[in-house]
Structure 1
Amino acid sequence: MDPITAVGLVASVIQLIDATTTTIKYLNDVKDAPKDRATLAREGSSLLALFTDLRYRVEESDTASAWFAGVRSLGVGGGPLDQFKDAMEELARKLKPEAGIKKFGKTLIWTLDKNEISNILSKIERLKTLVSLALQKDHLTICERVKKTQNVINWISPLNFHTKQNDFFSRRQEGTGEWLLKDETFRSWLDGTKRTLWCPGLHYPRSIVVNHLEQHFENDDVNIAYIYCSYKDQENQTAVNLIASLLQQLVQRNPVISDDVVSLYHCHSKKQIRPTLGELSKLLQSEARRTSKVFIVIDALDECRESNSTRESFLAEIRKLQPTIYLLTTSRHIQAIEREFGQAKRVEIRASDEDVEKYLKHRIESEGRLVRLVKSNPDLQAVILNTIVENARGM
C-alpha cells in the first residue's frame, strides 16, 4: 500500500470536517432531546478547531519532513480519521429529519441508546488525543508514542494467532466452507440476534469465519479476537496466556491504549513480573466495553489442555465476558464441552459434498500421476469423486 500523500490526508480531514459539521447541525436541531445530545454537540465542536488546524498544518508542511511522516498515519485507510468519519456519518443518518419535516419547530426522533452515545464519546476522546499529539511541533513525540505503544502491545502476550490465521486461510481450498457463512443460525449470531454459537464436529481451522468477520465489519465500531487452540502448543497456551492474547488483540485494534493497560505494563515491567489471570481478565472485560460489539472465536477448544485446570480456568474467564461479547466456539464432541455450551445455539460442522469434491479436484490437479491417469481415462475422475464423496458423507 502506497503511503498517503499530503493531498490525500487533507482530503480525509476535509471529509471529516464536513461529516462532523453535518452531525452537529442535526444535533442542534433536536428539540427537547436528552442532555447527551448537548454533550455530543459540544465534544464534536471542540474537534472542529483541531481539524481545521490540522488541515492547514498539513497543507503548509514539507512532505519530506519527519513531522509529516509521523502524522500521515492518521489518514491511512481504515485509520483513526476514517473510523471517526464513519461514526459521524452514521450518527448523521440517524438524526437526519425525515422528508417533509420542517427544520424548526419539530422534535426529531432520538435514536441513540446509552451504549452508542458512550462509544461515540469514546471515539471523540481518542481522536482528540491523537490530533492534539499530531499538532505538536516535536514529531519525536509521535514517534516515541508509537514505539512505546508497540512495546506495551508486544508485552501483553507471547502468543501470536495472526500468523496462524494467515497460514490457515492461505492453505484453505478456495470456495470450501462457505455453506457455514450462509447458515441461518450463523447469520443470526453474526447480526447479533444470538450471543453464543457452538460449532461441534469435524475438526478443521475455522479461518473462514475470522476472515469473514474482518471483512464484514471492516469499517464498523466492532472489535474481533480469536484463539486457535493446539495440542502441539499446550505448554504455552495456558489460561493466563490465552486471556492475555484476547486482551492484546482488542488493544491492538483500538486507536489509543487505555490508561489502565499502560499502568499495568509500567507496574509489572519494572518488577519484571507477569500480571495475574485476574488482572488480565479485569482489563479484558474493560476493553470489551470500548466498542459497540466484540466477536470472539475460539477454535478447537477440545485441544485446550485439561490438566492444571487450564480449560476450566479459561472458560471461567470467558463466562465473565458474557453477555458483552458474541462468542463462537468450535470443538469435537466432548461431554465436558457439550455441558458448557448445552444451552447455546449450535451448527454442526461437517464436510459438505461440495467441499469434499472441490478438495479432491484440487488434489487430483496437483498430483502429476493422477492427472495422467484421469487424462487417459476420462471417466476415472468421476468414479474417484463419486466414491470418496459418498463414503465421506456424514463425517
Structure 2
Amino acid sequence: FLDKRRLEVLSWLSPVDFRGKHNEVKRHRYEDTGNWFLKSSEFLDWLGKPAPANLLCKGTPGVGKTFITSKIVDHLESLFPDVHGDVAIAYVYCEFKQRVTQTPELIFASILQQLAYRQPNLDPEIDVLYKDRNSPRPPVEMLISAILSISRNFNAVYIVFDALDECDKNQRKDILTYLQGFLRAPFKILATSRPHPLDITAAFKGAAKVTIRAHDDDIECYVRQRIKQELSTGITIKRELTEIIVRQITSKAEGIFLLAKFHIEYILSKLTARDKRKAAISLTSDLTVVYGAIMATIEENQESRELSLKILKWISAATRPLQFQELQIAISIEDGDAEIDEEGFLDAKTMVDLCGGLIAIEQETGAVRFVHHTVQEYVLS
C-alpha cells in the first residue's frame, strides 16, 4: 500500500522524464569518449570538496556538452549505486525545443521527485504537498523549501544541469534566481552552458570553471568506431584511406564533435574509395558551411526537395518536439484528402535521409528533433 501511494504521489509531483532523455543521449554516446573530463583536476576537485561546491562547464555549440553530462551522471551513479543510500543524485537536461514546458516549477519538481525516489519511504513534507494540493503542481517556493528539507536526510546531494543556456531567457532568469540559493546550500551543483550567456556566468560567480572541448583522442576514437561499424556491413575501406579520414576529420573538427559527425557521414556516403578520399581532403572547419552544403543538396534534388523542406518546416515551427507518428501524418496530407492515408507515410530512415541527417528520431521517446539546436537556428535564419 505504501509503495503504491508513494508512486502515486511522486508521479503527481512531476511528469518530466529526464531518465528517458539520459538513456537516449547515452545510447548515442561512444564508449571511451569523454574520459578526459572525469580525470580533469576541476572535476576531481568538485567531486572531492565538501558542499557547497559548484562547477560551471562552458563550451561552444557542438563540442559534446550533453554527452559529457551523461558521462558525469553515469559516473556519479556508479560511485553511489545504492538507490536508498546516503547520497542523492538529480539531473536536468534543458532543451531548446522543450523550453515551453521546462518551467521553474517543472524543473524543481523533477529535482524534488528524483531526491524523493532516493528515500525508502515517502517524505512527510511531500505527503503534505500532495494532501494540500489545490493546483496541478505546487508553487516553486514550496518546492524549493521541500528540496532543502529533504536534502537534510542525505550526506551529499549532487545536482547536474545540462545546457542551462537552452532554457527560455525569461524562464532562465527565475531558474537562476532560485538556483543561486542552492549554490550556497549544502549541495554540489554542476552545470553546462555555452560561453556567452552573462546571466549564467553571473549566477555562478565564485564557482569553479572548466572549458569543455572535444579532445582529439575522443574524435579519433569516435571516427574509428564509426568506420568499424561501416566495415561490419561489408563495405571495404583500406587502412591507408582510414588513416587519411581519421587525420583529416580530427584536424578539421577543431574540437567540435558535431562537425566530426557530419564529416564522417559525408565521407561514408561516397560510393568509391576515390570519392571518399576527395571528400576527406576537402573538409571544412565551418559548421555553417556544412549546414549550407546539406541544404544545397536538399534544394538540388527536384524529386524530394518539396517533401524534405516540408519536414524541416514542420519541425522548426513546432513549439514542442513532434512525435514521429504526428510528423508522419502531417507531411502525408495532400490537398483534397478527406482522411488519413497510411500509404502516404514515410518510414523513419527515409525521413532522416531526406533531411540530410539534420534530424534525429529518439528511440526512447519517439520524438523527432534537429540533431542540434544550432541546426534550428540555421534553418530559421
What TM-score results when the alignment is normalised by the length of structure 2? 0.61
1:363 is displaced (CA, Å) by 1.9
CA distance in 1, matches of 2:146, 2:91: 17
2:209 is matched with which residue? 346
The corresponding residue for 2:9 is 152
User: Is 2:154 the partner of 1:288?
Assistant: no
Partner of 2:246: 385
Structure 1 residue 235 corresponds to structure 2 residue 100: yes
1:62 match: none
Corresponding residue of 2:89: 224
Task: Identify unmatched segments of 5+ residues in structure 1.
Answer: 1-143
* 1:147 Cα deviation after fit: 0.7
C-alpha distance in 1 between matches for 2:79 and 2:162: 19
- Once the two structures are TM-superposed, the CA of residue 370 in structure 1 deviates from its matched residue by 9.7
* Equivalent pair of 1:195/1:323 in contact (CA under 8 Å): no
- In 1, the alpha carbon distance for the partners of 2:65 and 2:180 equals 25
Alignment of 1:272-283 (within 5 A): 272-283=135-146
Q: Give 1:1-395 correspondences, 5 Å limit.
A: 144-193=1-50, 195-201=53-59, 202-205=63-66, 206-219=69-82, 221-268=86-133, 271-306=134-169, 309-321=170-182, 322-334=184-196, 335-367=198-230, 372-375=235-238, 378-395=239-256
Amino acid at match of 2:115: L
Distance 1:325 1:272 in 2: 29
Query: Once the 2 structures are TM-superposed, how far is the Cα of residue 294 of structure 1 from its aligned partner?
Result: 0.2
Distance 1:317 1:272 in 2: 21
* Cα distance in 2, alignment partners of residues 362 and 332 from structure 1: 28
1:239/1:277 contact within 8 Å kept:
yes
Letter in 2 for 1:190: L
Q: CA–CA distance in 1 between the matches of 2:255 and 2:29? A: 21
Give the deviation of 1:256 after TM superposition. Answer: 1.4
Q: Is the 8 A contact 1:221 1:291 kept in 2?
A: yes
Cα drift, residue 342 of structure 1: 3.8
Kindly indicate whether the alpha-carbon contact (under 8 Å) linking 1:177 and 1:355 is maintained by their aligned counterparts in 2. Answer: yes
Residue 315 of structure 2 corresponds to none
CA displacement, residues 9-46 of structure 1 (integer Å, 9 cap, x when unaligned): xxxxxxxxxxxxxxxxxxxxxxxxxxxxxxxxxxxxxx
Instruction: Determine if contact 2:105/2:137 at 8 Å carries over to the other structure.
Output: no
3-state DSSP class of the match of 1:255?
coil
Distance 2:135 2:99 in 1: 24
- Does the CA-based 8 Å contact 2:116-2:122 persist in structure 1? yes
Distance 1:158 1:383 in 2: 48
Q: Secondary structure at the match of 1:291?
A: coil
CA–CA distance in structure 1, aligned partners of residues 142 and 205 of structure 2: 29
Amino acid at match of 1:154: S
Displacement, 1:172?
A: 0.7
CA contact (8 A) 2:231 2:237 kept: no
Distance change (3 Å), C-alpha of 1:359 and 1:203: closer
Gaps of 5+ in 2: 257-381
Q: CA deviation at 1:344?
A: 1.4
Give, as a single letter, the amino acid of the residue that structure 2 aligns with 1:380.
L
- Give the 3-state SS of the residue equivalent to 1:283 in structure 2: helix
Residues 86 and 153, structure 2, Cα contact 8 Å, conserved in 1: no
| Rounded Cα–Cα distance in structure 2 between residues aligned with 1:254 and 1:369 | 45
Seen in structure 2, the aligned counterparts of structure 1 residues 371 and 192 have a Cα distance that, compared at 3 Å, is farther
- Give the root-mean-square deviation of aligned CA atoms: 1.9
Q: Structure 1 238/356 Cα, relative in aligned 2: closer, same or farther at 3 Å?
A: same
Is the contact made by 1:196 and 1:326 (CA closer than 8 Å) also made in structure 2? yes
C-alpha separation between the residues in 2 aligned to 1:371 and 1:384?
A: 18
Structure 1 contact 229–298 (Cα < 8 Å) conserved:
yes
* Letter aligned with residue 44 of structure 2: R
Separation (CA, whole Å) in 2 of partners of 1:291 and 1:186? 21
Which whole-Å CA distance do the structure 1 matches of 2:201 and 2:177 have between them?
15
Give the alignment's TM-score, normalised by structure 1.
0.59
Q: 1:102-141 CA distances to partner (integer Å, 9 max, x unpaired)?
A: xxxxxxxxxxxxxxxxxxxxxxxxxxxxxxxxxxxxxxxx
Distance 2:144 2:18 in 1: 19
Separation of aligned partners in 2, 1:204 and 1:180: 11
> Could you tell me whether the CA contact under 8 Å between 1:364 and 1:371 is conserved in 2?
no
Determine what percentage of the aligned residue pairs are the same residue: 35
CA distance in 2, matches of 1:389, 1:203: 15
Q: Which has the larger radius of gyration?
A: 1
